[in-house]
Amino acid sequence: MMILGKKLGQTSFIDDKGNRVCATVLDYKGCSVVGNRTVDRDGYIANIIGFLKPKKLKNPQQKEFIKKNIEARKHIKEERLDSAENLIEIGLELKVNFLIGDKVIVQSKSTGKGFAGVMKRHNFAGLRASHGVSTSHRSAGGTGQNQNPGRVFKGKKMAGHLGDETVTQKGLEVLKIDQDNSLIFIKGSVPGKRSTIVRVYK
């Protein structure tokens, strides 16, 4: 089962052994099924899951939700299935069926950090603090070779754009589930800043 949620932030959590651990809180209120894919029509089986009410929608998108007589959703994701038995009724709001202690996969966009140097982006050591190094302590150093091949190879680690890309983390533990308030507590950190849309599945 897949759930779409919003990252609310981090907090500390006391586990059964009395240890204090870091936990990320996700809010999945408003996560519902907005459509299905079937073998006859689409060639595969999937649940289409929507999350959060949109402020504005284009007419063609709006018509799709009106046709199905369901509330519109801003974020849409598909969950592929093995059999048609697992298809969920359209319009049904999802409840988490994870158990405490389950290991889940979490996917979201990491925090964008703009243009970053090699020390921040690739963990380079930087140049020496003295002995002739002047005004280039955080630079990458040499990047090319001599006359042969006389070029910089593709994929060379250099300064550039850091963050703002999809990151998948596997094996994160579910610490607590609050069905009344639609909250999931996940052990450790989840990529992205507050209000990032997070995809959680087994």
- Residue 96 CA to its chain's centroid (Å): 18
Amino acid 95: pLDDT: 87
| Distance set, CA 69 to CA 35, 77, 91, 114, 171 (Å) | 11, 19, 8, 42, 37
The 10s digit of each residue's pLDDT in 99-122 is 999 999 999 999 999 999 999 999
DSSP letters of 123-182?
----S-SSTT--S-TTS----S-STTT-SPPTT---SEEES-SEEEEEEEEEEEEETTTT
Q: Among residues of the chain, what percentage have pLDDT more than 90?
A: 66
Averaged pLDDT, 120-130: 94
* CATH 3.10.300.10, applies to 2-114+173-201: no
**Residue 111 identity (one-letter amino acid):** T
Give the tens place of pLDDT for each residue, 41-55.
999 999 999 999 888
What are the domain boundaries of the chain?
2-114+173-201, 115-143+155-162
Confidence of residue 22 (pLDDT cuts 50, 70, 90): very high
What the block records as the tokens of 126 is: 């930087």
Is the pLDDT assigned to residue 56 strictly greater than 90? Answer: no
What percentage of the chain carries pLDDT values higher than 70?
A: 100
Task: Name the pTM for this structure.
Answer: 0.84
